[in-house]
Structure 1
Amino acid sequence: MYMNLFHRIIVLFVYSYVVLCPFNANGAGDYQEYIIGTHYTGETWAPSFWSNLDESKVHDDFLRIRENGFNTIIVVVPWVGFQKTISPVSYFEAYLESLAFLFEKSKETGLKVILRVGYAHEVGVDSTPDHNHRILQIASDKAVQNAWFDYLGRINEISSRYDNFLFAFLSWEDFFLIDFAHKSIAVRTYAASVTGYQEYLKKYTLGDISSKYGTDFSNYSKIPIPQYTSPAIHLYHEFWDQYLTTLMAKSQKIFPNLSMEVRADCDPTNDSSLYVCHGETFDSTGGKRVVIYYTPALGAENCGDLSSSDDAAFRLQYLVERVRSKTKSLIFLDQFNFIDNTPEFKKNTRIAPEELSAFIDKAQPILKKETIGYALWAMQDVKGNLFKNGSFERELLGWSVQNATLNVEEDVSSLRLNHHGKLRQHIKFGVYVPPEFKNILFFTLNFKAKSVDGRPSTLNIQIIDRDGVAIHEAHVAVETEKYERITVEKIPLFVDGVIHIDNKGSDLIVDEFELYYRIQENGIYDIHGNPKEFCDSVLKLNKSFSPKQGALCYYDKESIKKARFKGVSEDGWCTDYISGYVRQTYGKRQFVLECYLPESWKGYGNRVSVKLDGVSIGASKIIEGYNKLQFHLTSDQLKKKELFFEISTDKLFEPSQFDNGSQDQRKVSFVLVGLGVI
């Protein structure tokens, strides 16, 4: 009746072979379940995600992601912000709690999770030192290195609790040492020392280095990082590759399930015919997945031109083949950025708008053959909001207030700004914008406000730059007890300033502050949630990556074996948590669970609980013998085409507790006989 230990080892071996070895030599082949992902940053962009996270909206957000055919979210986890200080090490615990919350909600809604650790940008929590100083010093300063390992350990500890965690990865973008090649000679010399670049150069003679630099050096300690246009820049790129591979190897000892997003494109040199590529990093993950990205600019002219779908697909094929030539690791494409409106990259080649749908169709066979899946940077366009905690979900984090109090109504936070109340926030704009954009791009301030008692009021708004100069001023009226959307436009771009908001009238409630200069248009839905012209092509792509057999309405013993539900072994025995999908069709109103316990299991008693799409639909006792349990679907669940079920039990048992002759030492709950909607 029960598998003995040897039998279970054989089954486990066969199962591992089927699940882990479906890849051909060139790529993914027919992978059992592709990663179909999107980054999740709520209603804002990644740098302000954590301070603006509204946990009350996460469940619905995740359901919408899943309903669009995605099965995975990618979450950026900044080093700064999460880890406030490095000596002593301290954390902003609320962010760690929110990370665990996202894991819980993703599990409830049937989504898997990938983490990008060490993300460079975070505006919500002041941290010392900043990210750039940390990545400079991590190679030479033990305190910084130990703080990094401690951070990885904390994130690994949280993520390892959840069986829907896939893996984490570092990104070359977050350790972008090449930025220092644009700094002054003093900064470049200091950075060359603390990063280990000067030590790395000792593999070359001073004569060779002097020849490359065009400058005579008598001592390695005098050598700076070369300027970006220097003939010696390839030496620094070599060092940067080694820096990344060394960091990766050390980090994997702390966080074993760690991969790396590698720099897939090549960097130009002062010789327009020569490029520095980073193929040495492609196999740095020790045989684990290698993560790459795609943009139409890779390998293109990049002179503001538009590409055809054929040319863009050709470059995508070339990209994955070039990566494949350097590694046998599985390839995952974490940023499928076939559309991008970043102003700083306006000269980059883009796919012609009318060709986007055709390109996505042509990308499908390439991605399916060569990768284990892909992810979007965003499913829906978002504003690049610079405010910290703009909706007061983290109380008054980031704000300075006078004569104002936190206001909470039905678990939604806002701020009560009383008569003569003052509201301040220091804004630092850490994104480089070329000078030619400063007279074209402007900030927009957006928030909502309402009167407490119906009497009108006036808000005075000032932007004071770091020199104490008022660069913008506005006066807005708030006249009703219903929320009004307040918008102030044409605010000059500033890099460092304070927003002043003063209430000159009756008491007000204010909320949802946004300050942005652009909308990130990487999504398949626009900022209002409307589908873009190519949205259907992406949904079609997602469907093509989904398991070939769709969910059934009802599963009997044979179809349960084929379904491979989580937590169900091949002989039907279950752990204390099983999950999967069932199809819902018109007229089906109940979820049924059929399970069995041997009659000889006298004294067995357990309780089973059932959730559909994260919503509990009931619980019941189960006893030895045959059990058939029925639960009514909610009105919302009746409208769904597919439902994610979760079945959990209070207890686990070993068969040997009830059968002295059994060699089965598994911890099990019951035998699954059937389940589905009827």
Structure 2
Amino acid sequence: MSSNVPLPNLPACRRSSTVRPRNRPLCRLWCAFGLALCLTAGFHIAMHHMHDTSAASTLCRGDMFIKAAHYFGDSSPTSFWSDVSVSSAAQHFLQIKEDGFNTVILLVPVADFVSSANGLINIERRWLTLQVLMNMCNDFDLKVILRVGYSESTTHGLTTVDNGMRRCRRMLMNDSDAWLEWNSLVSRLRDMVFSIPSYLFSFITWEDFSCALLHWPEGAEKERIAWAANSGFRRFVFYDFTNTSTDQWRQNERDEAAILDPRFESLPIPLLNATPHLRVLYLKFVNHLWRSLVHRTRSLMPELGFESRLDSEPVVLPNGQLQWWRNELLEHDVAVRCGYWSPSYLASPVLKVTAEQALNSLKVALEYYTVYGSYTKFILDQFNFQDNTPDMGIPSITNEGLNEFIVRSAALLETYSSGYGIWAYRNYRQTVVHNGYFETGMEGWNMTGCCLLRHQGANVLKVKEKVVLSQSTIVNMCSKQTFCLTGVAGNGTVNITVGLNERIFQLSQLPEYCIQFQNIRSSDGLFVTVYDGGHITFKGIQFFCHEHHFDMYGVAGEKLSNFKYVRLLNALLPASICSTSGSSFLVDNA
């Protein structure tokens, strides 16, 4: 096939690695006039940019403009449902409300809410806690959005149940048991939430079902052949093959051997560098799987939304150059469209971007998600203008540009969206320890020599001479792993064993003690021995590779540098939605 033959569905789109020209930085005059003038200027700038945009003129319909914070309490996304403290949630929700938010986003992992997923955790406690938290939000005039099917949970490390990617594979391959668990979760959520006034809607995201896009093309050939058969990709290819010129298939002998097999028995999931037609066909198939997932779930939960993937996918042309294929938006398939943005979108591989570069990136993303403002039921559920996710190389906005970015991004969000959310309202440690704060008693732990006490609204562990704790969590390797004892009172010695690695350190009077390991991977779990030197008590155990920063609040709840910017953003954004549409995406709980 000649290199000038047009590729199917390959628009001139870009992804995060595409280099964008640097624009001339705008004048930052308002920075010298302080916060008061900044707020005033912000509203004028927002109105100016709203009138300059190409989006359609709007008419207010009165729905609440969503300003949401993902809520993980004092814990992390992966360990929240074993660590959540209902007694602390009231104080957290009050603070969230005072910071200008009107909505909380809660994660609902399958492993934590389906009884057939494992038998070692108290499923009913999870459901009761979810209901209590949603009702508590109503007391603080906060609405609730649910992200259903979050793929990561410390529960996975305790049992032989599927982790997120294995569950993804089973569902996208139409495994009946996996779908039974999924339908059980969605049905029970549907029956519960409509009696709770705070509930708005639920959504699922491509990220929790990304196995077909990101993992299957990297499997061994034997696996890829099996996956092509079990997922339905062979049937998808056969339909295209019988309706497309075979010239488009004959790029190399490897592809020919597969295509010339009349039963397609040797056809694998294509590699990332597969011939353009086969690669694009597979990307279309992945989007077909996502659409099918949404349709089946909406049959149980009609108000379901979907977070679409923003980045485009690489396609290798015959001359070795790359072209980019954009994922579909499921325009008519969902009740609400959700999205993600960070400064990495359209950015060159640099550490810093200017406010102007970030604003250009954000506008392009919003125009894509909303089809230049024509689609009104859109929420940017992750507006991560700062994001230190490891191994992603996400640049940050320059310190001197943050104020300008926040002021002008408010105008873009108001023009193109029905709301936004932030991921890390509070910095967190991505711990692998299940029930590290003992909020669910000794769930997940094996223990000798100690007892739990209730102290100031929290469970604490009291040491009697020698305490041995162990947990069958899976410890993944990273360059720096940190073990911490939190809420410590007293003196003694701590011995930590992970696999064949052992560390010992002394306690004195500090509230937290941390020690680091290097490059350890272990499926044997975590073993902790504490020797009492004088009535030791402690509140929690954490073992983590990554501390995630958004820098609004720190791990301990202290205000950080982005606190003022998020508050400014919420002050600039409106209380209600203006839209060309007269319909509402909000669920009627009446």
TM-score with structure 2 setting the length: 0.79
Match of 1:221 in 2: 265
Instruction: Render the CA deviation track for 1:366-386: whole Å, top value 9, x for unaligned.
Output: 100110010110222122222
Contact 1:62 / 1:109 at 8 angstroms: preserved in 2? Answer: yes
Contact 1:83 / 1:91 at 8 angstroms: preserved in 2? Answer: no
Moved more, 27-36 or 387-396: 27-36
Equivalent positions of 1:79-94 (< 5 A) are: 79-85=110-116, 92-94=123-125
SS of 2:288's partner is helix
Which residue identity lines up with residue 274 of structure 2 in the other structure? Answer: S
More strand by share: 1
Match of 2:488 in 1: 449
Quickly say closer, same or farther: Cα 1:31–1:67, change in 2 above 3 A.
Answer: farther
Match of 2:230 in 1: 194
Equivalent positions of 1:387-426 (< 5 A) are: 387-426=433-472
Match of 1:333 in 2: 380
2:496 corresponds to which of 437, 446, 461: 461
Distance in 2 of aligned mates of 1:339 and 1:46: 17
Root-mean-square deviation (CA, aligned residues, Å) is 2.9
Task: Determine which structure has more spread, i.e. the larger CA radius of gyration.
Answer: 1
Deviation, 1:497, is 4.2
Tell me, yes or no, if structure 1 residue 149 matches structure 2 residue 183: yes
SS of 1:420's partner is strand
Quickly say closer, same or farther: Cα 1:322–1:460, change in 2 above 3 A.
Answer: closer
Moved more, 218-227 or 138-147: 138-147
Match of 2:419 in 1: 373
1:357 corresponds to which of 384, 393, 403: 403
Tell me, yes or no, if structure 1 residue 498 matches structure 2 residue 491: no
Tell me, yes or no, if structure 1 residue 55 matches structure 2 residue 86: yes
Tell me, yes or no, if structure 1 residue 230 matches structure 2 residue 279: no
More helix by share: 2
Distance in 1 of aligned mates of 2:101 and 2:219: 42
Match of 2:24 in 1: none
Instruction: Render the CA deviation track for 1:565-586: whole Å, top value 9, x for unaligned.
Output: xxxxxxxxxx9x9xxxxxxxxx
Which residue identity lines up with residue 190 of structure 2 in the other structure? Answer: N
SS of 1:358's partner is helix
Which residue identity lines up with residue 485 of structure 1 in the other structure? Answer: E
Distance in 2 of aligned mates of 1:170 and 1:29: 29
Deviation, 1:308, is 1.3
Match of 1:46 in 2: 77
Tell me, yes or no, if structure 1 residue 513 matches structure 2 residue 534: no
SS of 1:428's partner is coil
Distance in 2 of aligned mates of 1:51 and 1:198: 41
Highest relative contact order (Cα 8 Å, sep 6+), 1 or 2?
2
Deviation, 1:341, is 1.1
Distance in 1 of aligned mates of 2:464 and 2:354: 57
Distance in 2 of aligned mates of 1:82 and 1:127: 16
Distance in 1 of aligned mates of 2:58 and 2:300: 28
Which residue identity lines up with residue 115 of structure 1 in the other structure? Answer: L
Deviation, 1:137, is 2.3
Contact 1:84 / 1:127 at 8 angstroms: preserved in 2? Answer: no
Which residue identity lines up with residue 276 of structure 1 in the other structure? Answer: W
Contact 1:80 / 1:127 at 8 angstroms: preserved in 2? Answer: no
The answer for unaligned runs of 5 or more in structure 2 is 1-53, 577-588
Quickly say closer, same or farther: Cα 1:37–1:426, change in 2 above 3 A.
Answer: same
Deviation, 1:258, is 0.6
Match of 1:277 in 2: 326
TM-score with structure 1 setting the length: 0.69
Instruction: Render the CA deviation track for 1:316-364: whole Å, top value 9, x for unaligned.
Output: 1111212222873511100001111122112x34322321221111111
Distance in 2 of aligned mates of 1:141 and 1:322: 34
Equivalent positions of 1:202-213 (< 5 A) are: 202-205=238-241, 209=249, 211=251
Identity of aligned residues (%): 21
Distance in 2 of aligned mates of 1:214 and 1:535: 54
Deviation, 1:389, is 0.7
Distance in 1 of aligned mates of 2:485 and 2:449: 22
Contact 2:463 / 2:531 at 8 angstroms: preserved in 1? Answer: no
Moved more, 395-404 or 332-341: 395-404
Instruction: Render the CA deviation track for 1:402-449: whole Å, top value 9, x for unaligned.
Output: 12222223442122332233111233246x85xxxx2xx332433343
Instruction: Render the CA deviation track for 1:237-259: whole Å, top value 9, x for unaligned.
Output: 11110111111011111011111
SS of 2:385's partner is coil
Aligned residues: 505
Match of 1:294 in 2: 341
The answer for unaligned runs of 5 or more in structure 1 is 1-23, 465-469, 549-574, 578-678
Contact 2:463 / 2:532 at 8 angstroms: preserved in 1? Answer: no
Which residue identity lines up with residue 443 of structure 1 in the other structure? Answer: T
